Amino acid sequence: MSDSKHIETQAIHSGRINDEQFGSLATPLYQTSTFIFDNAQQGADRFAGEAEGYIYSRLGNPTTRQLEMRVAAMEGMDDAAATATGMGAVSGALLANLSCGDHLISSKAVYGCSFALMNHQLTRWGIEVSFVDMANPAEIEAAIKPNTKVIFLETPVNPNLAVYDLSVIGQIAQKHNIISVVDNTFLTPVLQQPKKYGIDIVVHSATKYLNGHGDVVAGIICGSNEMIMNIKMTVLKDIGATMSPHDAWLIMRGLKTLPIRMERHCSNAEKIAEFLESHENVSHVYYPGLKSHPGHKFIGTQMKAAGGVIAFEINSDLAGGGDFINRMQLFSIAVSLGDAESLIQHPASMTHSPYTQEERLAAGISDSLIRISVGLENVDDLIADLSQSLALIK
């Protein structure tokens, strides 16, 4: 059953480790920091890589391993590494493949902490970083240098929902022997599988849709066996950004309903985006599910659907935007996404505050931009909540 290519089945069965002793249906939770060796030689053999088995949960755990195998199967990748946070996944993927003197190319708009890692931290360590418009292949080509090692991007982009052509970017990376890394958090493998388009590494903030219940902070890196082993045995092992078995257990419980949840997230978001686009107090809506969005052409090919995140601008100033958010009743003011609850936030002052104002504007993140994560509530109730607050905009 774990070999099924249907993602709904993979989300429940892939990577399953049978409990031969007790026959537990639910995944056993190995809530342990270390593992007992039968004898000293066995311990030595495991440390030397000459014998299979677990040593210490920072280096591997049966519960965490099952999660890794499941997400890897869903992404169509060979293997995966579970990390403590989404930023642990981004950091692991980049640090394992970059050294002093190397060059990284990134899309201009990315999650604020990904931007801070690249623009504020990697540059301190002698790594060059260029931010380009990934919608323009010529701009990517022009940024490539002899020392370019990695291309990093999100699609759709956080927070303005720009969509980039993964097939084109994958071809550019392969042509120049550059490692490509895509953050697939917004769509999940249910809606998009970057591996199909030549992408080498896929990262997720598993905090978001993969878990889906707002009670875990975690990340996942998917790639080839060789790449994942390198990431695990260098950056993750030595920095220690690895996932706890309890968090892995919770995410696996969430994964079982991921395909069903994504259907509701998408259907709710499509109706809300259409409502916002027609409202007189909304100046612009950024959602690939709308025919007016430049990324709509990728629906049905690169993307199965547009996801559950919407960005929009209202006809008000910064203070008015704050008032609009504060009037919301069902949308909680919070900076995550992918939960059952609908969330609302202001990127310029919250998730993307590591950008300067000039950097935000260059990345297409205006001061009036609002981002919502559409949850699983009744869509009519959500529209009514947005309507009551929009009606009071002056």
Residues recognised as catalytic: 58, 111, 183, 208
Catalogue the long-range contacts made by 230-237 (C-beta closer than 8 Å, 24 or more residues apart): 230/96, 231/81, 231/92, 231/93, 231/96, 232/59, 232/60, 232/81, 234/96, 235/91, 235/92, 235/95, 235/96, 236/81, 236/83, 236/88, 236/92, 237/58, 237/59
- Asked if residue 158 lies in contact with residue 166, where contact means CB atoms within 8 angstroms, the answer is no
CA distance 366 to 337: 20
Going by C-alpha positions, the residue among 93, 33, 41, 86 that lies closest to residue 64 is 33
Burial 214-234 (b: 16+ CB within 10 A, else e): bebbbbbbbbeeebbebbbee
In the three-class reduction of DSSP (H, G, I as helix; E, B as strand; rest coil), residue 56 is classed as strand
